[in-house]
């Protein structure tokens, strides 16, 4: 295959070459024209690349489909994304991707444009031209990368230009935890409060908010002091839905601390009494453990709002509800529980994830580890 380039402007070149396929009517080879901005050397390099694609059969004809068109169609059709993930993707696509790259043809995006896009977001990509964080920029980058990987599999593009550019490095988020003293103060302040049972179970098991909201009495064995996590309650703009864990490790059975089991027994007794007062009868095994007063599911976002209101009004430590999960993990690590057990209780896909989140906590056990080794080396029991 051969081609040529013609200057179109000071820094513009038109590449002309045979596309490799034939017109279905005339049977003649089709000619493609591509405009490149830059130096003559850059245009020659691009022409060589395009000719190589034609030669090895990976050449793809240009398309008028823009990045905005493609992303919109993808998010409307992709069934691999959960509703919650799709909702977040749509938000980032609408706010951080389409305003800056949406008009670009899907097949024309270049790595330098991705790099410039990062710089724009970090400088003025937020509301009213305010900068956005490296973390949010990284989220948008990963969405665009995933979208191009899909386009590559579907042979809509010949390469993923996002892959050539690394997202901006974001500082690791600080994990909020409650100290032992704060946990004691918190539980004391919650006595007789409707949030006391769900907070106790969160602290005692490290369960996620959605997992707590999806629990049924059938999965809570108060004779064996165990809880079985099998699903989660997810909240999106379209409403509530129960979903299965993302991985097999999310489906797990863990032991309850005896004080937490006692709290749950009392919660069951009170829920039973309330149902009798309302004329609802005995709770069935598939009834939810935590509900709104009318017996309907307690939306996860409302749990967080109720928690925030509680800690504000009672002057308790101002941490997110998710900090209860982190506090559980921190307590296990401080007690010397091995990483595999911690990971299994939390439902992480692998211990590596647990280490990544809580690595700084394991540092506090290093002195104890050194003393244990010293004791072994001394030959003393």
Dist. CA 223–CA 221, nearest whole Å:
5
The listed CATH number (1.10.443.10, 1.10.150.300, 1.10.645.10, 1.10.8.60) that belongs to domain 180-366: 1.10.443.10
pLDDT digits (tens), the chain, 381 positions: 678 888 988 888 888 888 766 655 455 677 887 888 889 998 898 889 888 877 776 666 656 789 999 999 899 886 678 888 899 999 999 999 999 999 999 988 999 999 999 999 999 988 888 999 999 999 999 999 999 999 888 778 888 999 999 999 987 777 788 888 889 889 988 988 999 999 999 999 999 999 999 999 999 999 999 999 999 999 988 899 999 988 889 999 999 999 999 999 999 999 888 888 877 777 788 999 999 988 899 999 999 999 999 999 988 888 999 999 999 998 888 888 888 999 999 999 888 888 888 876 665 555 555 555 555 555 555
Backbone φ, ψ for residue 15 (5° rounding): -95, 135
- pLDDT value, residue 336: 84
User: How many Cβ atoms sit within 10 Å of the Cβ of residue 67?
Assistant: 24
- 3-class state of residue 337 by DSSP: coil
Q: Which of 150, 117, 121 is nearest to 136 (CA)?
A: 121
Q: Which of 139, 140, 122 is nearest to 131 (CA)?
A: 122
- pLDDT value, residue 207: 96
User: How many Cβ atoms sit within 10 Å of the Cβ of residue 243?
Assistant: 14
β-pair type (226-229, 232-236): unpaired
- pLDDT value, residue 35: 81
- pLDDT value, residue 12: 87
**Domain ranges in the chain with CATH number 1.10.443.10:** 180-366
Both tokens of 120, joined, read 């724009």
Angle between helices 351-362 and 323-334 (to 10 degrees): 70
For 235-260, how does the pLDDT look when each residue is reduced to its tens digit (9 = 90+)?
Answer: 988 899 999 988 889 999 999 999 99
- pLDDT value, residue 334: 84
Dist. CA 243–CA 81, nearest whole Å:
12
- pLDDT value, residue 60: 61
Do the Cβ atoms of 298 and 291 come closer than 8 Å?
yes
Fold of the domain spanning 67-164:
DNA polymerase; domain 1 (1.10.150)
- pLDDT value, residue 352: 87
**Domain ranges in the chain with CATH number 1.10.150.130:** 67-164
């Amino acid at each position: 295959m051969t081609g040529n380039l013609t200057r179109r402007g000071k820094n513009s070149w038109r590449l002309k070459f045979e596309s490799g396929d034939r017109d279905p009517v005339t049977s003649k080879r089709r000619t493609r024209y591509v405009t490149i901005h830059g130096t003559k050397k850059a245009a020659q390099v691009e022409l060589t690349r395009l000719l190589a694609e034609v030669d090895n059969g990976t050449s793809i004809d240009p398309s008028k489909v823009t990045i905005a068109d493609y992303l919109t169609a993808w998010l409307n059709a992709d069934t691999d994304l959960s509703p919650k993930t799709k909702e977040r993707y749509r938000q980032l696509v609408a706010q951080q991707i389409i305003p800056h790259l949406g008009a670009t043809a899907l097949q024309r995006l270049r790595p330098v444009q991705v790099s410039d896009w990062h710089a724009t977001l970090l400088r003025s990509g937020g509301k009213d031209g305010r900068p956005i964080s490296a973390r949010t920029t990284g989220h948008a980058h990963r969405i665009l990368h995933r979208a191009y990987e899909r386009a590559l599999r579907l042979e809509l593009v010949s390469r993923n230009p996002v892959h050539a550019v690394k997202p901006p490095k974001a500082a690791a988020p600080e994990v909020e935890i409650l100290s032992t003293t704060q946990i004691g103060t918190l539980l004391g302040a919650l006595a007789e409060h409707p949030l006391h049972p769900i907070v106790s179970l969160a602290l005692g098991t490290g369960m996620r908010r959605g997992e707590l909201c999806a629990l049924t009495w059938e999965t809570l064995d108060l004779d064996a002091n165990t809880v079985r996590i099998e699903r989660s309650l997810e909240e999106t703009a379209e409403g509530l839905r129960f979903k299965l864990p993302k991985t097999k490790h999310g489906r797990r059975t863990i032991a309850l601390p005896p004080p937490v089991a006692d709290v749950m027994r009392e919660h069951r007794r009170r829920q039973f009494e309330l149902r009798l007062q309302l004329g609802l009868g005995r709770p069935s095994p598939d009834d939810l453990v935590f509900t709104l007063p009318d017996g309907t599911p307690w939306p996860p976002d409302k749990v967080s709002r109720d928690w925030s209101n509680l800690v504000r009004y009672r002057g308790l430590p101002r941490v997110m509800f998710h900090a209860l999960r982190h506090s559980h993990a921190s307590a296990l690590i401080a007690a010397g529980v091995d990483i595999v057990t911690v990971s299994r209780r939390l439902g992480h896909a692998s211990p590596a994830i647990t280490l990544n989140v809580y690595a700084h906590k394991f540092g506090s056990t290093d002195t104890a580890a050194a003393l244990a080794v010293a004791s072994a080396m001394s030959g003393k029991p």
